Structure 1
Amino acid sequence: MTNLPIYLDNHATTRTDPRVVAAMSPFWTECFGNAGSGQHRFGQIAADAVEKARGQIADCLQVPSNEIYFTSGATEANNLALKGIFAGRSQGPTGHLIVSAAEHRAILDPAKRLRRNGVEVTILPVNEHGRVDPQQVADAIRPTTKLVSTIWANNEIGTWNDVATIGRLCRERGVWFHTDAVQAVGKIPIDLRSLPIDLMSCSAHKIYGPPGIGALIVRRGRRRIRLTPLLDGGGQEGGIRSGTVPVPLVIGFGEALRIAGEELPSEEVRIRELRDQLWTRLQTRCDSLILNGHPTERLAGNLNLSVLGVDGTALLAGLTDVAVSSGSACTTRDPEPSHVLRAIGRNDQLSRASLRIGIGRFNTIAEIDTAAEHIATVIEQLRDHKRKHTEHHATHD
């Protein structure tokens, strides 16, 4: 394909790394067995490959491989974590759940469904940077609280949460702690041996792996976590997630996370430099730009900004040479402004006239320079058009 825009939407999804594609390739056409068919060589090869990939993920996250349960992606993993804790009781779902107002919809929507089914749900506010106050979490915990779920790195504004402190507070009170780590895994160092996290969701297509595969990490600590499965069937994945294991996707997930773990130190520095260069260039050309999210405690590749004095729809329509978004890719069909930007205090105009820019592994300095020029030019043109329109009406009034 030619004449495509510069891709700067790496929070939505990433290009699959060619090394990942190469690792997956034999398992589409040569080693195509079902990992559950252990009676013959094809199935044995597939099963061994799945366990190798599980081991790669375990090594990167520092967890035993038997704590990793593959799912179709992070949405399923999040649903399994929340619904699995509260389901399976004869009297129906009961208890208390705590989440934050800046969670992904794959947390907020299951929480709302649980509320309709009888679970008490507390949605905590976040501060102006999108961070959850650990003390507010502690204050919200009740005797009936079963689970706290907070996002690790926000998918829109990139802000990190202090999951270590939140998890410790939960553990002290005997409450399970889940984190949606989709944007954090492979982008910041993670060592689950030293973190009080009980359940963690992750996904391959955010780290240059294939779409359609994710995992829920279920820790085996002092207390056993009893999850009710969402799917009944063959009992694959330790009975927690039934369904034929998609072997090529699992292979890709393992390889993607292996590469991410090895290259993280240098890649994080390079991507942060590209982001800072883009932000500096935009600020030099355009005034009245507002940074959304924490200024330093954020993902290296994340730049989320609101533009004063322009129409949000016109802004996105004008950016023909770069691929960016104005919010989560999972809610782009929703005409409402970003719930995350609203949660940090942005009004509707600033929420609509926002850009979520995600810089990734395959972006270059030349692309960043071109993107900065294009974005700045479009902003200037829109502001100039608005100024002339205002002057015209003022002259004829």
Structure 2
Amino acid sequence: MSTYLDYNASAPIDLRVLNYMIDVYKNSIGNADSRTHNFGEKARSVVETARNQVATLLGVMPDEIFFTSGATESNNIAIRGLEDYANSTGKKHIITTAIEHKSILETVKYLSGKGFDVEFVKLGINGRVNSEEILNRVREDTLLVSVMHVNNETGIIQPVKEIGDSLEQKGILFHLDATQSCGKLVEELREIKYNMLSFSAHKLMGPQGVGVLVLRKKRYKLPPVKNIIYGGQQEHGIRPGTIPVALVAGCGLACEIANNEYKDNFKKASEIKKAVIQELDASGLEYSINGDPEFCVNTTINVSLKGISSEALMISTKQFCGVSNGSACTSKSYSPSYVLVAMGIDKNIIESSLRISWGAGTKKEEAIEGIKQLLSVAKQISS
């Protein structure tokens, strides 16, 4: 039996979440925006319960939570939704990093083609952007800074608290992609100052197809974000379209479970990471870890096995474990990881690099067995 070790791409759904969603599909059949009958009221109650569950996890107000189809859509709304405001104020300077998710990079490139000045901050081999590199680029016409909390390929935690603290004082909008940290770095996330935040439910064992955009109020006003698609007034017009009640319910319950269990999950994840490194040390293979381990989450390791093609190794070990060598949104291209390239890592190291990731649903014994099998095949390939 193969062990799933690609949680950063998508985590398996928690069975408690799935069972709740099935119940909602069966028994909450109304449209949450139908106001003329009890079916609509019941569906709306399910949605608002979920909104409160998400808000509790993040430590924000329920009316700051907007449901979307996922982090990619949330990222698009957060950035493209500022276009009218930017044109009216003349603030058209955007700062981001070279290692952001493609939904950020492609969106700001789109705006660049419409006259926006976009700066992509590079970073060092440690995989962590220097906060001063970000803050020193702030100008009078800076509209937005967008930085991910945790990189999806390396697991490296970015200095977003320092960035957020400074930007708040300067009055500059800050967007945080928390897709890989939501439900994991719970207490840290609550302390960060930001205006907009994005995440997908499926990264914390919720359903695929639903996510959240958080818009924090300041002096009772939301950030100047407008909808980028048109329709009704669902989600206060920020995200028109019929609310998928069961998906939203699953997102909410996944957040509630994460809020209740994140401390235990953190301990389990740390034990797995320690065991993975022990197996690497015992294998006799020469390896290196991409990114600074001091600033890495305990659910991810991006490791290079010297002289071993990651493509060949993944193909040869499919029956034992599921791992990856890059972001799921670009994995079909078989091109070198743009994140590792941006870190200045040698091409040979990149070609031998694997991303191994796990989560709350991972059993330590199964993870270690999968890693042992992977390393056993790696030794055969290297000999």
TM-score (norm 1): 0.92
Q: What one-letter code is carried by the residue in structure 2 that aligns with 1:310?
A: I
> In structure 2, how many angstroms separate the alpha carbons of the residues matched to 1:318 and 1:329?
19
- Among candidates 177, 180, 190, match of residue 174 of structure 2: 177
Q: How do 1:1-397 and structure 2 match up within 5 A?
A: 3=1, 5-87=2-84, 95-190=92-187, 194-222=191-219, 224-320=222-318, 321-384=320-383
3-state secondary structure, aligned to 1:231: coil
Per-residue deviation, 1:288: 1.9
CA distance in 1, matches of 2:31, 2:57: 26
Distance 1:308 1:158 in 2: 20
Tell me how far apart the structure 2 counterparts of residues 10 and 183 of structure 1 sit (CA, whole Å): 10
CA contact (8 A) 2:69 2:210 kept: yes
The 3-state SS of whatever aligns with 1:305 is strand
CA–CA distance in structure 2, aligned partners of residues 194 and 278 of structure 1: 30
Q: Does the 8 A contact of 1:86 with 1:94 survive in 2?
A: no
C-alpha separation between the residues in 1 aligned to 2:110 and 2:343?
A: 24
RMSD between superposed Cα atoms in Å? 1.7
- Could you say what secondary structure the match of 2:333 adopts? coil
The residue type equivalent to 1:350 in the other structure is I
CA–CA distance in 1 between the matches of 2:174 and 2:88? 24
Hey, what does 1:391 align to over in structure 2?
Answer: none
Q: CA deviation at 1:299?
A: 1.5
CA distance in 2, matches of 1:345, 1:142: 27
Greater Cα offset, 165-174 or 239-248: 165-174
Give the Cα–Cα distance (whole angstroms) in 2 for the partners of residues 308 and 275 of structure 1.
20
CA distance in structure 1 between the partners assigned to 2:88 and 2:162 by the alignment: 34
Tell me what 1:389 maps to.
none
Matched pairs, number = 381
Cα distance change on mapping 1:139 and 1:293 into 2, 3 Å: same
Is the contact made by 1:312 and 1:349 (CA closer than 8 Å) also made in structure 2? no
Residue 325 of structure 1: how far off its partner (Å): 0.4
| SS of residue in 2 equivalent to 1:10 | coil
Q: For 1:157 and 1:191, locate their aligned partners in 2 and report how far apart those are by CA, in whole Å.
A: 19
Unaligned runs of 5+ in 1: 385-397
Q: Does the 8 Å contact 2:126/2:290 carry over to 1?
A: yes
Name the counterpart of 1:388.
Answer: none
Give the Å deviation of 1:46. 0.3
In structure 2, runs of 5+ residues without a counterpart are none
Distance between the aligned counterparts of 2:215 and 2:189, measured in 1?
11
Q: Tell me if structure 1 keeps the 8 A contact 2:74–2:211.
A: yes
How far residue 324 of structure 1 moved from its aligned partner, in angstroms, is: 0.4
Q: Which has the larger radius of gyration?
A: 1
Q: Shift of residue 87 of structure 1?
A: 3.8
- TM-aligned CA deviation for residue 90 of structure 1: 6.6
Alignment check: 8 A CA contact 1:286 1:376 kept? no
Deviations 1:96-140 (A, max 9, x none): 000001111111111111111111000001222211211111111
1: distance between equivalents of 2:86 and 2:161?
A: 30
Query: Which stretch shows the higher mean deviation, 262-271 or 332-341?
Result: 332-341
Q: CA deviation at 1:344?
A: 1.6
Summarize the Cα distance change of 1:151–1:192 in structure 2 as closer, same or farther, 3 Å threshold: closer
Identity of paired residues, percent?
Answer: 35
**Quick check: 2:91–2:142 contact (8 Å CA) kept in 1?**
no
CA displacement at 1:195 relative to structure 2: 2.8
Output the CA distance in 2 between the equivalents of 1:270 and 1:60.
20
Q: 1:90 to 1:137 in 2, by over 3 A?
A: closer
- The DSSP-based 3-state class of the residue aligned with 1:330 is coil
Preserved contact between residue 285 and residue 379 of structure 2 (Cα < 8 Å): no
Q: Distance in 2 between matches of 1:61 and 1:6?
A: 31
In the TM superposition, residue 226 of structure 1 has moved relative to its aligned partner by 0.9
- In 2, are the aligned partners of 1:69 and 1:241 still within 8 Å (CA)? yes
Q: CA deviation at 1:275?
A: 1.5
**What displacement does 1:91 show?**
7.9
- Which one-letter code corresponds to 1:278 in the other structure? V
Show CA shifts across 1:333-359 (max 9, x none): 223201111122212222122111111
Q: How big is each residue's C-alpha offset from its partner over 1:348-395, in whole Å with a ceiling of 9 and x where there is no partner?
A: 2221221111112222222123122211112111111xxxxxxxxxxx
Q: 1:93·1:114 contact (CA, 8 Å) conserved in 2?
A: no
- On the 8 A contact 1:202/1:215 being kept in 2, the answer is yes
Runs of 4+ in structure 1 off by over 3 angstroms are 87-94, 190-194
